[in-house]
Amino acid sequence: MIADLERVPQLDATWRDAPGLWGFLTTVDHKRIAARYVVTALLLMFLAGMLALDMRWQLSTAENTRMGPQLYNESFSLHGSTMLFLVSVPLMEAMALWLVPLMLGTRNMAFPRLGAFSFWLYLGGVLTLWLAHAADVTPDLGWFEYPPLSGPAYSPGHRADIWAQMITFTEVAALAASVNVAATILKMRPPGMTLARMPVFLWAMLIASIMTILSMPAIMLVTSMLIADRLVSTHFFSPAGGGDALLFQHLFWFFGHPEVYIIFIPATGFVSAIVETFSRRPLFGHNAIVLSIMAIGALAFGLWVHHMFAVGLPRLGNDFYTAASMAIALPAGMQIFCWIATIWSGRPRLDTPMLWVVGFLATFVIGGLSGIMTASAALDLQLTDTYFVVAHFHYVLVGGAMFPLFGAFCYWYPKATGRLLSERLGRIAFWLIVGGFNLGFAPMHLLGLLGMPRRVYTYPAGLGWETLNQVATAGSAIAVAGGLVFVGNALWSYWRGRVSGPDPWGGSTLEWASASPTPAWNLPYTPRVDSLTPMWRDGPLRVMEGLALDRREVLVTSVADAAPLYRQKSAPPSIAPLLAALATTAMFIGSIFTPWAIVAGALPIGAALTAWFWPTRPRAGAAEAKA
Amino acid sequence: MIFVRPPGPVSPALTRRAPCWAAPLLVAVLGGCSSEARQLGPTAPQTRPISNADPRIPAYQANVYQVAQGGRYFGWYGCGGCHAEGATGVLNLGDTQWKHGDGFADLFTAIADRHGRLAYDRRVPVEVLWQLTAFVRDLPAHKAEKRMRTARDQKAEPQGATWSGPQ
Ligand code: HEM
Ligand SMILES: [Cu+2]
C-alpha cells in the first residue's frame, strides 16, 4: 500500500513516542509492548530451559549427587511455573497484542494503555518469582501447589506465597491483555471483514481471550484463598475446620485445563496462517476449523476433573470426565485433517515456518495419542505421577504450542524486523530441536511405564532406568543446543539478514500490507476487505479515507458486519499505566506480609487510576448539548 | 548463574551470586533468606545446647522449616495433650510466661528434664528436641487463630496416644 507523500510525515508526528527513556516508559504502541513481552518471555524460556537441562543432568545417572532433594524440588517448580505462567501464556498474548491490530489494519489496540499496564504487571510477576529465587526463597511445591502441603502448617515462610502472588500478577496481566484483544477483534475490524470473513488467526485469538476471561478468575480466587489461609488463618482448605482441601484442586484445574488450550488455541491460529500462506491456497474447511476451535474452547471447561482421577472421586464422575476428555479428540482431529487437506491440495513450499508446522503435526499427534491414554481413568491410575505424564505434557506443550510458536516466529520475524531469518541456520535449528526433543522425551513414555515416578531427584541403580534416562538427557541437550542456534539466528539476522520487503512470503492476510518493520501508525489507510484472503485479490487492496491524521483516531465498527459506526479517539502515551502497575505491585507484594496492605495499597492504586482516566477534553457545554 | 546453587542454608555467599541490581532487594530480605533455608538430611546438633548463647541456636530458632518441624513433633509426642490451646498456668505455652527462663537452653532443659516420668531426654532424639524447643519459643509470636489453624491442618497426623509408628 503506497501512501501520499505528505501523509506519512503527518502520521509520524501524530503517532510518535517521546524520545528516549520517557518514551520507553510511556509508550502505548502495541508493537513495542508486544516486543517487550516476547523478549522477556524468551529470556525466561532460556533460563527455565537451562534449569531443565540441569535437572536432566542430575537424572542422567543413578544416585547422582549434583542436586539434593530440596534443590531438585525448587528446580522443577521454578521450571514448570515459569514455562507455563511466564512463558507460554504471555507469549501467546504478546503475539495477539502485536498481530491483531496489524491483521485488522487498525492503528492500535482498543485500549492502548491497558496493553502497557498488562506488560508492566507481567514484569512484576516475573520479578517476583525470579528475584525471590535470587534471594533463595524459591517456591518448591511444583507448578500447582496443593494444600495442605502449601498451607500454613507444612509450608512455613514465604515460598508458597511467592508462587501464589506470582500467579495473581500474571493473571491480572492476562485478563488485561485478553479484554483488550477481545474488544479489538469484536469492534475494530475493517469495513467488510464480517465475522464470516475473519481469518482463523483472529478467531483463535478471540476464543483464547474469552477463555482467559472465563477461567482466570477461578485461579485468582483460589490463590487468594490460599494466601488468606496462610496469612489470616481462614479455613477454606482445612477439612478439620470445616473447609475442603479438594476445593483447591477443583478451582485450580477449572482454570488449569482451559489454560493448556489457552496456550494451544493461539497455536492453531499460527498453524492456520502458515499453512494457508505456504500451501498457496485458501485454507481448506475454514468453517470447520473455526467451529472446531469453538468446540475445543467450550469442551475445555468440562474436562478439568481428568487431573483428579487419583483423588478418589465417585466412579460415575470419573467415567463422565473420561468420556468428555476423549470427546476433544474429535474437534482436534478435525482441525488436523483440514490442515492436511490444505497442504495436500495446495502447492506447498517447505520454508522454515512450514517446516515447523510439519514438526508440529507429527509431534502433537503423538502427544494427543498419549493424552487419550491418560484420559482413561482406569489407565491413568497407573500412569499418573509417572514419567509417562511428563512425556505427555511436554509433547503437547512443546510439540503443540512451542513448535507452532517457533514457526510463527520465523514467519512474522521479517514483519517485525524487516529482515529474513537465515533459512540454513533455521533448518539446522529445526532438526536439532525437533530431533533432540523426540529423542529426549520419547523414552520417558517407557520410563513411566517402567514405573519411574515424576518429581524424584534421583533413583537407585539396577531398576533398568539408566540407559533410557541417559538417552533422555542427551536428547534434551541436543534440543537446547538447537535452541541456541535458533536464538543465534535471530540475533545474527537482526543485523545481517536479507532485507525482506513488506511481503516476503506472499501472505494472505492484512498484516502483509504494512511496511516492514511496521511504522507506529501501521497502515496509511483503512483497508476494505471482501474476502478471507484480502491480500490475494486481483488488483490492489481497496482502502478508505476519513480518519484524522493530526490526532490519534481509530475506526469502530459493528460486531457482526463490521459496518463503520464512528471514529474513536485513541489514547495517547501516558505514564499512568506504569504508575498503576507499580501501585498494584506494591499491594500484591505487601499482601504477602500483612492483610492491611490491601487497604493501604488501594489508595495509591486509586490515585494512579484517577490520573490514568483523567478527562483530557472539556465537558460538553449546555449549548453544544442542545445542538 | 543463579540457578546452579548448592542446597542448604544460605550465607554470605548469597551476595556474591546475586546480580548487583538485586542488592537493594537483598538488603530488604536478607533476614528472611536464611530463615527460608530448608535443609534435608543429617544436621548439626548431636548434643544439647551448651548455653542460651549456643551458636547453633539461630539455625533452628530463626528457621521457619525447623520451627514447623518442631510443630509436627509437638503433636506426635502428644505435647498437645496437656498443652492444648487455652490451657492455664504453666501448661499455657502461648503466654510468654516461662517459669524457668526464656533462653533456648532453659526451655530445652525444661522440655527434656522437667517432665518427670515422660523422660523426654531419653525418648526424643536430640535434634527433635532442638526443633521442639524452637517451636515452643516461637509460639507466643503467633495469634491464637494461627496456632489453631496450623494444628488443624496437622490433625490427621498421629497425635500422642494414637501414634502407631516405631516406639
Ligand atoms: C528442552 C526443553 C525442556 C526440557 C529438557 C524439560 C525438562 C523437564 C524436566 C526434567 C522436568 C521435571 C520432571 C520431573 O522431575 O517430574 C520438567 C517438568 C515440567 N516441564 Fe519441562 N522441559 C522442557 C521444556 C518445557 C516447556 C517448553 C514447557 C512448557 C511450555 C515445560 C513445562 C513443564 C512443566 C509444567 C513441568 C512440571 C513441573 C512440575 O512437576 O510441577 N517444559 N521438564
Ligand atoms: Cu487437562
- SS3 call for A107: coil
Which ligand 1 atom is the nearest neighbour of the CA of A56?
Answer: 10
Q: Is residue B53 part of a domain?
A: yes
Within 136-195 of A, beta carbons closer than 8 Å to B belong to 136-137, 140, 147-148, 151-154, 156-159
Res A620: pLDDT: 60
- Look at residues A124, A138, A157, A136 and name the one whose alpha carbon lies nearest to residue A79: A138
Split into its structural domains, chain B has a count of 1
Res B44: pLDDT: 63
Res B118: pLDDT: 85
Res B30: pLDDT: 44
User: How much of chain B is helix, strand and coil, in % rounded to 5?
Assistant: 55, 0, 45
Res B92: pLDDT: 86
Query: A45-59, A153-167, A235-249, B107-121: which range is least confident on average?
Result: B107-121
- SS3 call for A399: helix
Please name the helix (run of DSSP H) or strand (run of DSSP E) that holds residue A78, with its range, or none.
helix A69-81
Average pLDDT, chain A: 94
Percent of chain A with pLDDT over 90: 93
Which residues lie closer than 8 Å to A237 by C-beta, 6 or more apart?
A147, A148, A151, A225, A226, A229, A243, A244, A245, A247, A248
Res A540: pLDDT: 87
- For residue B94, give the amino acid letter: G
Q: Tell me how close the Cα of B151 comes to any Cα of chain A, in angstroms.
A: 7
Whether A623 shows a pLDDT value over 60: the answer reads: no
For chain A, the first-to-last Cα distance in angstroms comes to: 40
Whether A342 shows a pLDDT value over 90: the answer reads: yes
Which residues lie closer than 8 Å to B137 by C-beta, 6 or more apart?
B61, B102, B104, B107
Cell numbers placing A398:
512443546
Q: What is the pLDDT of residues A230-264, one digit of tens each?
A: 999 999 999 999 999 999 999 999 999 999 999 99
Q: Is residue B74 part of a domain?
A: yes
The answer to whether A570 touches A112, Cβ cutoff 8 Å, is: yes
Query: A33-37, A599-603, B36-40, B80-84: which range is least confident on average?
Result: B36-40
- A376 C-alpha vs ligand 2 centroid, how far in Å? 12
Q: Tell me how close the Cα of A157 comes to any Cα of chain B, in angstroms.
A: 6
Q: Is residue B84 part of a domain?
A: yes
Whether A627 shows a pLDDT value over 60: the answer reads: no
Residue having the nearest C-alpha atom to atom 19 of ligand 1? A80
DSSP-H helix ranges across A497-595: 576-593
Whether B83 shows a pLDDT value over 80: the answer reads: yes
Among A47, A50, A64, A76, name the best residue to mutate to test ligand 1's pocket (greatest count of ligand atoms within 8 A of Cβ). Answer: A76
Q: Is residue B33 part of a domain?
A: no
Ligand 1 lined by A402 (C-beta under 6 Å): yes
Which ligand 1 atom is the nearest neighbour of the CA of A75?
Answer: 12
Query: Does residue A148 have a cis peptide bond before it, meaning omega lies within 30 degrees of 0?
Result: yes
Residue having the nearest C-alpha atom to atom 2 of ligand 1? A49
Cell numbers placing A114:
491497558
Residue having the nearest C-alpha atom to atom 9 of ligand 1? A52
The answer to whether A81 touches A129, Cβ cutoff 8 Å, is: yes
Instruction: Indicate the pLDDT class of residue B35, thresholds 50, 70 and 90.
Output: confident
Q: Which domain holds residue B124?
A: 45-157
Query: A479-483, A563-567, B82-86, B163-167: which range is least confident on average?
Result: B163-167
Res B42: pLDDT: 60
Whether B22 shows a pLDDT value over 70: the answer reads: no
ipTM of the complex: 0.81
Whether A472 shows a pLDDT value over 50: the answer reads: yes
Cβ contact, residue pair B6, A157, below 8 Å = no
Average pLDDT, chain B: 77
Higher-confidence position of A609 and B119: A609
Cβ contact, residue pair B149, A152, below 8 Å = yes
Res B94: pLDDT: 82
Cβ contact, residue pair A233, B26, below 8 Å = no
Q: Tell me how close the Cα of B132 comes to any Cα of chain A, in angstroms.
A: 15
Cβ contact, residue pair B1, A137, below 8 Å = no
Whether A298 shows a pLDDT value over 90: the answer reads: yes
- Please tell me the distance from the alpha carbon of residue A586 to that of residue A592, in angstroms, as a whole number: 10
Please compute the mean of the pLDDT values over residues A149-171 and round it to a whole number: 95
- Look at residues A444, A313, A426 and name the one whose alpha carbon lies nearest to residue A386: A444
- Please tell me the distance from the alpha carbon of residue A16 to that of residue A18, in angstroms, as a whole number: 7
Cell numbers placing A170:
500474571
Whether B10 shows a pLDDT value over 60: the answer reads: no
Please compute the mean of the pLDDT values over residues A609-620 and round it to a whole number: 82
Query: A30-44, A98-112, A159-173, B22-36: which range is least confident on average?
Result: B22-36
Which ligand 1 atom is the nearest neighbour of the CA of A45?
Answer: 27
Whether B11 shows a pLDDT value over 80: the answer reads: no
Q: Is residue B30 part of a domain?
A: no
DSSP state of A80: H
Angle at which helix A352-375 crosses helix A423-449, to 10 degrees, equals 10
Q: Is residue B150 part of a domain?
A: yes
The answer to whether B139 touches B86, Cβ cutoff 8 Å, is: no
Cell numbers placing A429:
535449528
Interface mutation target, options B2, B3, B43, chain A, most CBs of A under 10 Å: B3
Cβ contact, residue pair A71, B18, below 8 Å = no
Please compute the mean of the pLDDT values over residues A11-26 and round it to a whole number: 94
Residue having the nearest C-alpha atom to atom 43 of ligand 1? A52
Neighbouring CB atoms inside 10 A of A137's CB total 23
Instruction: Indicate the pLDDT class of residue B41, thresholds 50, 70 and 90.
Output: low
Whether A296 shows a pLDDT value over 50: the answer reads: yes
Please compute the mean of the pLDDT values over residues A141-156 and round it to a whole number: 94
User: Is the minimum CB–CB distance between A79 and chain B shorter than 8 Å?
Assistant: no
Q: Tell me how close the Cα of B85 comes to any Cα of chain A, in angstroms.
A: 15
Please compute the mean of the pLDDT values over residues A326-346 and round it to a whole number: 95
Q: What is the pLDDT of residues B110-166, one digit of tens each?
A: 999 988 888 899 989 999 999 999 999 999 888 889 988 998 898 888 887 777 766
- Please tell me the distance from the alpha carbon of residue A496 to that of residue B35, in angstroms, as a whole number: 50
Q: What is the pLDDT of residues B86-101, one digit of tens each?
A: 888 888 888 878 888 8
3-class SS string, A297-360: HHHHHHCHHHHCHHHCCCHHHHHHHHHHHHHCHHHHHHHHHHHHHHHHHCCCCCCHHHHHHHHH
Percent of chain A with pLDDT over 70: 98
User: How much of chain A is helix, strand and coil, in % rounded to 5?
Assistant: 70, 5, 30
Please compute the mean of the pLDDT values over residues A386-411 and round it to a whole number: 97
Q: How many CB pairs under 8 A join A and B?
A: 102
Whether A216 shows a pLDDT value over 70: the answer reads: yes
CATH T-level assignment (fold) for domain A34-573: Cytochrome C Oxidase; Chain A (1.20.210)
Q: Is residue B75 part of a domain?
A: yes
User: How far, CA to CA in Å, does B70 sit from each of A198, A405, B128, B139, B144?
Assistant: 62, 49, 7, 11, 17
Res A576: pLDDT: 95
Res B115: pLDDT: 87
Query: A119-123, A382-386, B36-40, B115-119: which range is least confident on average?
Result: B36-40
Whether A556 shows a pLDDT value over 70: the answer reads: yes
Please compute the mean of the pLDDT values over residues A108-113 and round it to a whole number: 96
Instruction: Indicate the pLDDT class of residue A447, thresholds 50, 70 and 90.
Output: very high
Interface mutation target, options B36, B60, B74, chain A, most CBs of A under 10 Å: B36
Res A153: pLDDT: 92
The answer to whether A433 touches A425, Cβ cutoff 8 Å, is: no
